[in-house]
Amino acid sequence: MTRRDFDPATVTPDGRPAIKAGLFDATLGGPYRGSVNGEVLGTQITVLTYGNDEPGKGPVLHVHPYDEVFIVQEGHARFFVGDQVIDAQAGETVLGPAGLPHRFVNLGPGRLQTLDIHLSPRWIQTNLE
């Protein structure tokens, strides 16, 4: 299917160059975490990656003043977002709305890998545990 959602002639480039930034060191084995602030890329989003191989493990309960979108790339996770419990697997996304405490754990078996999009030019977080 061909997509033509807008007329390219209506968008003027703003002069920013393409930028590359390291998210994680792919040469290291084991679990990895990394982040790139949107400020580095000149955007309004910050990108994080999180992974672990241990069922039951994950980030501590925390909260952000902006929305966060989790993309499960590998494995199975259980998300705790406010009063909701959401199970998600590879290929699914979960929204953590601004101001709602959240955390997630690897349900196993095997690796959990996520890509987390923070809708902010900086990673801003308060841990609650």
CATH number at residue 68: 2.60.120.10
Whether 24 maps to a domain, the answer reads no
User: What is the number of structural domains in the chain?
Assistant: 1
Say if residues 74 and 112 touch (Cβ distance below 8 Å). yes
Say if residues 21 and 28 touch (Cβ distance below 8 Å). no
Element (DSSP H or E) covering residue 65? none
Whether 66 maps to a domain, the answer reads yes
Q: What is the reported pTM?
A: 0.89
Whether 70 maps to a domain, the answer reads yes
Whether 103 maps to a domain, the answer reads yes
Element (DSSP H or E) covering residue 40? helix 38-41
Q: What is the pLDDT along the chain (129 residues), one digit of tens a residue?
A: 899 898 999 999 999 899 999 998 888 877 778 999 999 999 999 999 999 999 999 999 999 999 999 999 999 999 999 999 999 999 999 999 999 999 999 999 999 999 999 999 999 999 999
The whole domain housing 96 covers 31-127
Give Rg (Cα) of the chain.
17
Bridge-based pairing state of the strands 46-52 and 112-118: antiparallel
